[in-house]
Every structure is written in C-alpha cells, then in structure tokens.
Amino acid sequence: MFKINTILCPVDFSDAAHKAVGYAKEFAATTGAAIYLLHVVEPIPIPPVDASLNYIQIEEELEKAAETDLNTLKDSLASSGLKVDGSLETGNPADIILEKAEELQVNFIIMGSHGRKGLNRLIMGSVADAVIRKSDCPVLIVKSDEKEFIGE
C-alpha cells in the first residue's frame, strides 16, 4: 500500500505541468493525500543598460497572472473533493521546490518536464534534474508527450 500524505506538484502552466496535475489528482484521490500546488516566479534580471522599461511592473503582472491561474487550478481540484493548498513563490525554481518539500514534509513530488535536449538544456538547465538529484522523497516526472498510465 502507498503511504502518501502530501504531494507537492510544482506548476508552470505548461502542457507537462497540466498533465502532472492530472497524475497528482489521481494519486491523491487513491491515497487520500493532500496536494500542494507551487508556482515559482523567477526574478527578471534587470539589465543595467535599458532603464526605459519598467521591469518591476512586468514582474508584478506575471505574478498576478500566475496567482490567478494557480487559484483557478486549486479551486478546480478542491471542487473534486480533494485537499489542496498552494502558493506562489519567487526565486530559483529548483531551490524553492526543494525548500518547500522540506518545509511541508512532503513524501512525493509530481512535476512536469519540458524535455529539453542538447545545447538548449545546457543553457537553460533542468529544474526536474536538480529536483531529482537533491530530493529526499520520490519524484515522478511527467512529460507532455509521454504515454499516460491514467485511465478514464
């Protein structure tokens, strides 16, 4: 029997993240676990050259849109009878995910991965890889184009 109490499900609102939420929903429904949705906003680096753009305003707008999307997702899961909570944080995504997992003492992480390869992965890095390497609990990685094992 699975003994899952809290599932951390980081979301960036991509196709892979939406699919990961579907998996979290199924695991939570089966095990009675709570779901904690987490969206991490990366701070926008402010270039020293162009002072004409208001980067703080852009960042605030991104946070406001993400908070609206996160609340919609939480409401949708809660309306299914699931225990759900969540937050919006700012910082390095992998670090924030790992910190939140420790803080909440989650025992399962379900997250999407973009599946970047080659130079793009080298430049962009992989949040999923960092979480897998450093997490002290099981991590399920969901890709948008993978075969699903959830049935109707």
* pLDDT score recorded for residue 124: 44
- 1 falls in which pLDDT band (50, 70, 90)? low
pLDDT in tens, 40-94: 988 766 665 555 556 667 677 888 899 999 999 999 999 999 999 999 999 999 9
Domain annotation for the chain: domains and CATH numbers:
1-42+52-113 (3.40.50.620)
Q: How far apart are CA 125 and CA 146, in angstroms?
A: 21
Query: DSSP states of 34-77 as a string?
Result: EEEEEEEEPPPP--SS--SS-HHHHHHHHHHHHHHHHHHHHHHH
Distance CA(41)–CA(96), nearest Å, equals 10
What's the confidence (pLDDT) of residue 145?
A: 78
Distance from C-alpha of 12 to C-alpha of 17, rounded to nearest angstrom: 6
